[in-house]
Amino acid sequence: MNDRSCLAVILAAGLGTRMKSAMPKVMHSVGGRPMLGHVLDTATRAGSDRIAVVVGPGMKSVEDLVKAGHSASQCFVQQERAGTAHAVLAALGALEIPADDVIVLYGDTPLVTPEAIETVRRALAEGADVAVLGFEAGDPTGYGRLLVEDGRLMAIREEKDADEQERRVTFCNSGIMGFRGALLPELLDVIGNDNAKGEFYLTDAVEIAGARGLSVVAKTGPAVDVLGVNDRVQLAECEAVFQARMRRKAMLFGVTLVAPETVFFSHDTKLGADVVVEPNVVFGPGVTVSDGAIIHAFSHLEGAFVDAGANIGSYARLRPGAEIGEGAKVGNFVEIKKATVEPGAKVNHLSYIGDARVGAKANIGAGTITCNYDGYDKFFTDIGEGAFIGSNSALVAPVSVGKGALVAAGSVIVKDVPDDALALARGQQAIKEGRAASIRAIKEKTRSKG
């Protein structure tokens, strides 16, 4: 099908009132990405040369998403929501540019696969004028029914318009439809709104095309690929399917998931071979973990890179901009933000490293903090190769600690420390012999009088 041009029309104008949200429905996320983002990506991978996204008035966030990542995409505004055919007609400017295939998709079906779209395109390439993707439903309630006779798709009947016999049909409409490119504008011109909802249904194109003697076919795909989202319950169902797919994909690639059902991925998570992921780990967007790294339990990673053989957690948090070098260690209750931890370095426990570089084989003691923010601006801390930072130290940026330098435990470092130097910045310890006993005696006497 590489020799066939394709226009994808994605309908994304729905308000999603059942989501109970001020955010457009298609902007709700599955796997850390808006649902529409999934559909845009799938349409591209299925060979769409151009993409027309139909949005509602004032949906700036949707338009921004389309413009940001999809140069071949264009938004069209459906001023009045009067049905699916009316929505497609809003993209007439795109339809008037010739394309061999026109595929209609929905922005709230985030699990749709390239294979599903290719099934419809293949039918068009084989001579169909209209092709519809259907699925078998255990409970067809709420879905449009595909009425097939002698291998021909005769009609798509919306449930509200179906009679009792038609409602018993379990072959249901996924919403994905394909048209021979030049045909669709002609069909849109004659679709009416004589139905229970008084809307212009794109599905009526099936009967109109059949009455003209055109070839109309229905193809079957997995029901899970076309799960739609109308409320947050269905959003959670889609998330569960997405996560199951990602877990399976990771394990088949060579990743060990100790408790797969407790690990959560984003759409762009990349894990190398022989990575081990312990229970209750969350991968936010933008994470890459190289071969052989270990992610211990209850860690949260987002916008981070973990090099080969590194050891993360447990209870570690890697925030955007964290880069963990080969064989480095980020231990329990450690937070790294916009910082590089170079190969072999260790930040083992209870520390915050932000806006910093930790040099190769440096050691960061427990409770160390890089004080990177003064309430207005962020500042950088540079810790040299092989440096040793004692426990409970505060490094007040901007500051550097030289190669091989030592910082004594409990120090507050406000000036640069040269290579191989020892820095101590503590208050002087004073010992008052017998003072503890006298304080206790005073306290006991006060308590007895009270």
* Residue in 205, 239, 241 with CA at minimum distance from that of residue 222: 241
Nearby residues of 375 by Cβ (< 8 Å), 6 or more positions away: none
Tell me the three state secondary structure of residue 36.
helix
Tokens 């794109």 belong to residue: 202
The packing angle between helices 60-69 and 35-45, to 10°, is 30
Q: Alpha carbon of 100 to those of 11, 48, 181: distances in Å?
A: 20, 11, 5
Pairing mode, if any, of strands 101-106 and 171-180?
A: antiparallel
Residues carrying an active site annotation:
349
User: What φ, ψ does residue 350 adopt, rounded to 5°?
Assistant: 55, 45
Place of tokens 């504008």: 185
Tell me the β-bridge partners of 394. Answer: 369, 412
| Alpha-carbon gap, residue 320 to 339, rounded angstroms | 9
Amino acid (one-letter) located at 382: D
Instruction: Note whether 302 and 290 are within 8 A (CB).
Output: no
Two tokens, residue 436 = 């503890």
Helix (H, G, I), strand (E, B) or coil at 351: coil
Distance CA 409, CA 422 (A): 11
State the pairing for strand pair 145-149/152-157: antiparallel
Q: What is the DSSP letter of 431?
A: -
Between the alpha carbon of residue 163 and those of residues 17, 270, 387, 430, 446, the distances in Å are 28, 50, 79, 92, 89
CB atoms within 10 A of CB 211: 10
Q: Which residues contact 398 (CB under 8 A, 6 or more apart)?
A: 379, 380, 381
Q: Are 40 and 70 in contact (CB under 8 A)?
A: yes
